[in-house]
Amino acid sequence: MSERSVSKSREQKRWYTVLAPEQFDRQELGETLAEEPQQVVGRTITTTLDELTGDSNANNTKLTFKITDVGSDSAYTEFIKYELTRDYLRSLVRRGASKVEASITVLTTDDYRIRVQPVALTTKKADRSQEKAIRRVMIDKVHAAAEERTFEAFVDAIVDGNLSSAIYGDAKEIYPLRRVEVQKLTLEARPSEVAAEEEVAVDVDADEVAVDADE
φ, ψ (nearest 5 deg) of residue 127 = -85, 175
Geometric angle at alpha carbon 32, from 31 and 34, rounded to 5°: 145
Distances from the Cα of 9 to the Cα of 38, 40, 170, angstroms: 17, 16, 59
pLDDT tens column, 36-74: 999 999 999 999 999 998 888 889 999 999 999 999 899
Q: Domains (ranges, CATH) in the chain?
A: 11-83 (no CATH), 84-193 (3.30.479.30)
pLDDT digits (tens, 9 = 90+) for 149-193: 999 999 999 999 999 999 999 999 999 999 999 999 999 999 999
For residue 6, name the pLDDT band (cuts at 50, 70, 90): very low
Rounded to two decimals, the pTM is 0.86
202, pLDDT greater than 80:
no
CB-based burial of residue 87 (10 Å sphere; 0-12 exposed, 13-18 middle, 19+ buried)? exposed
